Structure 1
């Protein structure tokens, strides 16, 4: 069994159940911490809709926080989820871009990894 994360009719990610639950909990926590809607919808029996209007702003906020962070542990924690958020935004063609050289360097590093975002149709 796996979850699907969709934008409209397109599935952009299909992680295993435990991975999806950890991801959703982390997104919820970051959304609360930064006081910004995540654009990640509710879990509807393993299907999660991504709001293409809200999600890029959320990812941008997390990227900004990571690029500006001087706290080692905060950076490490954000490094756990931010590459996934970036890969999802890229796969959904949501137009994520850097606003600072630090953000640009981070995006370049993550995009060079070419994370596979497996979906059921892949």
Structure 2
């Protein structure tokens, strides 16, 4: 069973059911804390539709939160969600600007996550 993330009727990430549910739960909690919308809307097919401008704003807000602190615990809690969100955003055909010190640090994780996210 899968949990597809669709953009304009095309699946950009066909997550496993539990992975997709966990991602949505984490994203919704982070969005509430950041006072942003996720841009991810449940659909009738058992997955989510992506509203790209809102999702891009969410990912940027998540990254800004990550970048604005040096707290290693907060970094650890945000990092997995952020990496998955950056990849989903790229698979949807968009991106956000990363600070140079994060581009290299995130690259390897994005490659690993990207393989698993198809």
Q: TM-score, normalised by structure 1?
A: 0.83
- Equivalent positions of 1:1-122 (< 5 A) are 1-42=1-42, 44-98=44-98, 100-106=99-105, 108-113=107-112, 115-116=114-115, 117-118=117-118
Contact kept, 8 Å, 1:67 with 1:106, in 2: the verdict is no
Cα RMSD after superposing both structures = 1.9
The runs of at least 4 aligned residues of structure 1 exceeding 6 Å deviation read none
Q: Deviations over 1:29-84 (max 9, x none)?
A: 01100001110112545220010111111101111111222111110011121111
Change (3 A) 1:113 1:75: same
- Whether the 8 Å contact between 1:6 and 1:48 is mirrored in structure 2 is yes
Structure-2 change in CA distance of 1:49 and 1:10 (3 Å)? same
Structure 2: gaps spanning 5 or more residues: none
Of Structure 1 and Structure 2, the greater helix share is in 2
Count the aligned residue pairs: 117
Q: Greater strand percent: which structure? A: 2
Structure 1 unaligned segments of length 5 or more: list them: none
Partners of 2:25 and 2:74 in 1: CA distance: 16
Distance change >3 Å, CA 78–CA 4, structure 1 → 2: same
